[in-house]
Every structure is written in structure tokens, then in C-alpha cells.
Amino acid sequence: MNFLVTGGAGFIGSHVCERLLQAGHSVWALDDLNSFYSPAVKQRNLAEIAAHGGPFEFINAELADVKALKSLFERVRFEQVIHLAARAGVRPSLDEPEFFQQVNVEGTVNILEAARRQGVRKLLIASSSSVYGVNRKVPFAESDPVFSVISPYAASKLACEALGHVYHYVYGLQVAMLRFFTVYGPRQRPDLAIHKFARLISRGEPIQVFGDGATARDYTYVTDIVDGMMAATGRDFGYEIFNLGGSQTVTLSRLIELLERALGKKAIIERLPLQPGDVPLTYADITKSHAMLGYSPKVGIEEGIPRFVEWFRRQRAS
């Protein structure tokens, strides 16, 4: 089967490309290698994907480049598209809300249009737990109201969910919106908390902790996320939203303790006020994902953090 993975050189995308190749599929990865973090990191990811062998092609293009997308979709008949490319991050979106809408929302329209015109039968599109906003009901279920988003990033992802429904309802595309809950593991973006904290703690530099450490996240190991995505590629549905999370909550203080233990070094903590856009809690109800996809996360935080630190140390040594 021919798969297009947008954002295929990134953290989650590179793992998805590898898993698809291992399953015997042909993979095209589209990424613009932007400077949000070092393009050299993505180049290394691409090299690791290519090392697996199998039919793989990289396309360096932006989501805004409609001409490049049209050319690609005319050249290759894709059975499925996995759309992960986006500008990410709650805090960066507060500084550039217009840019986030342009890349995330307009970019998703461009992918949906290209898929519609070619007759692609199924798309998986990355959403985010941030769409739940300040939801007071826990755990968060796909049926919960989502009208309390508190960042431009979350708003852009909610808009993409609405667009996915439009393209299913009007044009008959199968669309799965995947709400990811704080993904971590090997190749995690260097700006994300676990990777950034590990880097600073190992250097003996202070880490910035916003609030008293009581905020909690549903951390999800990347292999569990990919398991859920692969299951979605093999199921038929119309339009569905799926939570992909670890279905457990970990406070920021506990996360730091686990990193300290795995690194063998104490953190120097700089306390700062809570930041606008940050939600106090995320927690995935995975009942629907389990029932429809057989999704069952296997890697808990006590196992996942040491795994991440092992990868982190190998990267520093290489």
C-alpha cells in the first residue's frame, strides 16, 4: 500500500514511517525541514528511516506549496495519507497565532483537497489533547464538549477536526482525527519538556518549572501512539475521533523525580508562575480507542523515562 506521511521527518512521523516500512508498505515522507528546531535532527531521522530499507522517498516541501502537492499526488497514487505536519506548541502559538492558523488550518485544507482530487480513501490527521482546554470532567472522552480551548494552537487543531468532518460528510472521505496526549520517547523534539529537562539536568543547569509542580499530564510513549495509528490504518470507518493516550496522569514534580533517578543527577529548579495557555491536567479516556482499534498502551512512565534517557545518552555520545 502507498502511504504519504506529512511531517515524516519529525518525531512521531519518523517512527510511523519506520513502522509502515516494516509492515511492507511503500512510504513517501513530506517535510519542509523548517528551523523550529535544528533541521539536522530531522536529517538524522531521515537517515535512520532510510537505513531500514524498503521503498521510501523524501519530499522537501511546505504544506502551503499547492503546486508541489499537486505534482506529488499526480505522480503517486496514495491509498492513505497520515497528516502529522503542523506548527506545534501552545506557548509559541501565543506569539504567532496568525502563522499557526496559516500552517495548521490552511495546510490541512491543502492536504484534504489534494487527497479528495486524487480519490484517496482514508486520512489519519493529528489532533491534540489541547482541544479539551479547561475541561473539568476527567478523564477526557471524545464525546466531551470542546468549546473551552485556551491557545491558538488548540484552536487550530479544533478547526482541523471540523474540516475533517466536512470532507467526510460532503466528499465521502474516511477521516480519523487522532488526539495525541503528550507524546515522548526517542527522537522527541528538543523543545519539549522531557527532552529539555534531561538536557539541562545532565548539564547541571536549572530547569524552569511553571507553578508548584502539581500540574499533571497523560504522558504517552511513542511506540504506543504508533500502535494506535497502525490499528487505525487497518480499520474502515467514516469520520471518527480517537484519543491516543497513556490513560494515566503524572504530576510535573513526579516527572522530574523520574528523570533525576534515570539520569543519576538532581535537578536545579527555577520556579516561575503558571503560563497562559497551559492547562492544569490532561487525562485520556481510551474506552473508544480500545473498543474500535484494540488500542492498549503498554509502556508506563516508570519504564518509558529510563528508555528515553537511554536513547538520550546514546545521542549525546554519538
> Residue 14 is part of a domain; what is its CATH number?
3.40.50.720
Nearest to 282 by CA among 184, 159, 141: 141
Is residue 136 within a helix (H) or strand (E), and if so which, with residue range? none
Q: What is the pLDDT of residue 170?
A: 97
| Contact (CB, 8 A) for 158 and 144 | no
Residue environment code for 264-285, b if the CB has 16+ CB neighbours within 10 A, otherwise e: eeebeeeeeeeeebebebbbbb
Which pLDDT belongs to residue 135? 84
- 82-105 pLDDT, tens digit per residue, is 999 999 988 899 999 999 999 999
Nearest to 130 by CA among 95, 96, 164, 91: 91
Return the beta strands (E) in 239-278 as ranges.
239-244, 250-251, 268-272
Taking the C-alpha atoms of residue 243 and residue 247, their distance in angstroms, rounded to an integer, is 9
Give the closest residue to 126 by CA, choosing from 94, 169, 81.
81
Assigned domain for 66 exists: yes
205 CA to centre of own chain: 28
**Inside any domain, residue 59:** yes
Ranges of residues in the chain whose predicted pLDDT is under 70: 318
- Asked whether residue 7 is domain-assigned, the answer is yes
pTM over 0.85: yes
Would 211 be classed as within a structural domain? Answer: no
CB 211 within 8 A of CB 273: yes
Query: What pLDDT shows up at residue 90?
Result: 87
Q: Which of 132, 153, 167, 295 is catalytic?
A: 153
Q: Is 153 a catalytic residue?
A: yes
Residue 97 in any domain: the answer is: yes
Q: Which residue range forms the structural domain that includes residue 64?
A: 2-183+222-246+283-298
Whether residue 12 lies inside any domain: the answer is: yes
Q: What's the CA gap between 149 and 77, in Å, rounded?
A: 37
In sequence order, what are the beta bridge partners of 58? 29
pLDDT computed for residue 279 by the predictor? 82
Q: Are 108 and 163 in contact (CB under 8 A)?
A: yes
- Asked whether residue 123 is assigned to any structural domain, the reply reads yes
Contact yes or no for 159/103 (Cβ under 8 A): no
- Give the integer Cα–Cα distance in Å for 115 and 77: 10
If one counts the domains in the chain, the total is 1
- Let me know if residue 260 belongs to a domain: no
